[in-house]
């Protein structure tokens, strides 16, 4: 398993959610050093810790594991969700309309 990529994604999501390592460690009931070790990819988190991280950061586990999963139905959705989070509500509505048109034309 690619611990460095998983750790990098955990860090990226943590920061995008506005959490410090200290805040995440507190929510996980872990030491800051332990969170740092996970984020640097030195060690992989235990499964229960991994699940708690995903739940606290409100991220799909598929996104965190995308480099090690061969098949995942959520990867594209997660990428789209992440990108949509970076645009205004007006732009989201425009993008949604484009997607609707693409889906309608692909069904014909």
E strands, 1-108, where? none
pTM of the model: 0.66
Domain ranges of the chain: 1-69, 73-108
Which tens digit of pLDDT belongs to each residue from 53-95? 999 999 988 888 877 776 655 556 767 778 888 889 999 899 9
Predicted confidence (pLDDT) per residue in 17-46, tens digit = 999 999 999 999 999 999 999 999 999 999
Tell whether the torsion through CA atoms of 79, 80, 81 and 84 is positive or negative: positive
- CB 24 within 8 Å of CB 56: yes
pLDDT attached to residue 107: 67
CATH 3.40.50.300 given to domain 1-69:
no
Q: For position 12, what pLDDT does the model report?
A: 94
Alpha-carbon torsion, ordered 16, 20, 21, 23, to 10 deg? -110
């Amino acid at each position: 398993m690619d611990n460095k990529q998983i750790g990098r994604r955990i860090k990226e999501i943590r920061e995008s959610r506005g959490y410090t390592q200290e805040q995440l460690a507190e929510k996980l009931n872990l030491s800051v050093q332990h969170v740092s070790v996970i984020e640097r990819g030195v060690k992989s988190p235990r499964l229960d810790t991994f699940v708690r991280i995903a739940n606290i950061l409100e991220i799909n586990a598929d996104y965190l594991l995308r480099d090690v999963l061969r098949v995942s139905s959520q990867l594209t959705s997660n990428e789209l969700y992440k990108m949509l989070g970076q645009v205004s509500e007006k732009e989201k509505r425009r993008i949604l309309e484009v997607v609707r048109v693409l889906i309608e034309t692909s069904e014909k």
